[in-house]
Amino acid sequence: MEKEVKYDFSNSTCRQDSNAEKYTLREELFGTIDVEPMWVADMDIDTPDFVLDAVKKRLDHKVVGYEEVPDSAFLAQIEWMKKEHNIEFNLEDMIYSHSVVASMNTAIDAFTSRGDKIIVQTPVYPPFFHSVKEHGRVLLKNPLKLDDDGTYHFDIKDLKSKIDERTKLLLLCSPHNPVGRVWKKDELQEILDLCLEHNIVVFSDEIHSDLVYSPNKHIPFASLSKKARDISVTCSGVGKTFNMAGFTMSSVAITNKTLKSKFLESYNKFHYAQGSSLSHVAYEAAYKNGKEWLEELKIHLYKNYKMIQELCSKYQNYIKITPIEGTYLAWLDCRGMGLKDKSLRDFFIKEAKLGLSAGLSFGREGSGFMRLNFAVSTTKMMKVIKDLDKALSVQYSK
Ligand SMILES: Cc1ncc(COP(=O)(O)O)c(C=O)c1O
- The three-state secondary structure class of 320 is strand
* Alpha carbon distance 66, 72 (integer Å): 17
Give domain status of residue 147, yes or no: yes
Same domain as 282, residue 192: yes
Give the ligand 1 atom nearest the CA of 237: 10
> Domain boundary at 260, 289, 318, which?
289
pLDDT of residue 222: 98
Q: Which CATH number does the domain housing residue 337 bear? A: 3.90.1150.10
Same domain as 305, residue 260: no
Pocket-testing residue among 42, 100, 372, ligand 1, by greatest number of atoms within 8 A of Cβ: 100
pTM for this predicted structure: 0.97
Give domain status of residue 280, yes or no: yes
Same domain as 105, residue 27: no
Same domain as 375, residue 238: no
Q: Please give the residue range of the domain that contains residue 343.
A: 16-48+291-396
Give domain status of residue 183, yes or no: yes
Same domain as 261, residue 317: no
* Alpha carbon distance 12, 23 (integer Å): 15
CA of 101 to the centre of ligand 1 (A): 6
Q: Whose CA is nearest to atom 13 of ligand 1?
A: 41
> Domain boundary at 289, 308, 338, which?
289
- Which amino acid does the sequence have at 343? S
The distance in angstroms from the start CA to the end CA of the chain is 39
Same domain as 321, residue 218: no
Same domain as 100, residue 40: no
Give domain status of residue 11, yes or no: no
- Cβ–ligand 1 distance for 329 under 6 Å, the answer no
Give domain status of residue 8, yes or no: no
The answer to whether the CB of 314 falls within 8 A of the CB of 389 is yes
Pocket-testing residue among 43, 131, 177, 329, ligand 1, by greatest number of atoms within 8 A of Cβ: 177
- Cβ–ligand 1 distance for 41 under 6 Å, the answer yes
Same domain as 295, residue 285: no
Give domain status of residue 157, yes or no: yes
CA of 397 to the centre of ligand 1 (A): 39
> Domain boundary at 266, 289, 312, which?
289
The answer to whether the CB of 188 falls within 8 A of the CB of 173 is no
> Residue-wise pLDDT tens for the chain (398 aa)?
667 889 999 999 999 989 999 999 999 999 999 999 999 999 999 999 999 999 999 999 999 999 999 999 999 999 999 999 999 999 999 999 999 999 999 999 999 999 999 999 999 999 999 999 999 999 999 999 999 999 999 999 999 999 999 999 999 999 999 999 999 999 999 999 999 999 999 999 999 999 999 999 999 999 999 999 999 999 999 999 999 999 999 999 999 999 999 999 999 998 888 889 999 999 999 999 999 999 999 999 999 999 999 999 999 999 999 999 999 999 999 999 999 999 999 999 999 999 999 999 999 999 999 999 999 999 999 999 999 999 999 988 75
Same domain as 61, residue 20: no
Same domain as 306, residue 277: no
Same domain as 81, residue 44: no
Give domain status of residue 81, yes or no: yes
Residue 337 half-sphere exposure, CB side, CA atoms within 13 Å? 27
Same domain as 149, residue 93: yes
- Cβ–ligand 1 distance for 125 under 6 Å, the answer yes
Report the relative pairing of strands 94-97 and 250-253 from DSSP bridges. antiparallel
Q: Which CATH number does the domain housing residue 274 bear? A: 3.40.640.10
Domain count within the chain: 2
Sheet with 94-97, side-by-side order of all strands: 94-97, 250-253, 232-237, 201-205, 167-173, 117-120, 138-141
- Cβ–ligand 1 distance for 106 under 6 Å, the answer no
Cα separation values, 58 from 61, 97, 247, 275, 277, Å:
6, 21, 14, 15, 8
- Cβ–ligand 1 distance for 177 under 6 Å, the answer yes
Q: Whose CA is nearest to atom 7 of ligand 1?
A: 100
Q: Around Cβ 352, how many Cβ atoms within 10 Å?
A: 22
Hey, which residues does 333 pair with through a beta bridge? Answer: 320, 369
Cβ-Cβ contacts under 8 Å for 45 (sequence gap 6 or more): 9, 12, 243, 297, 375, 376, 377
CA of 236 to the centre of ligand 1 (A): 9
Q: Is 339 exposed, middle or buried (0-12, 13-18, 19+ CB in 10 A)?
A: middle
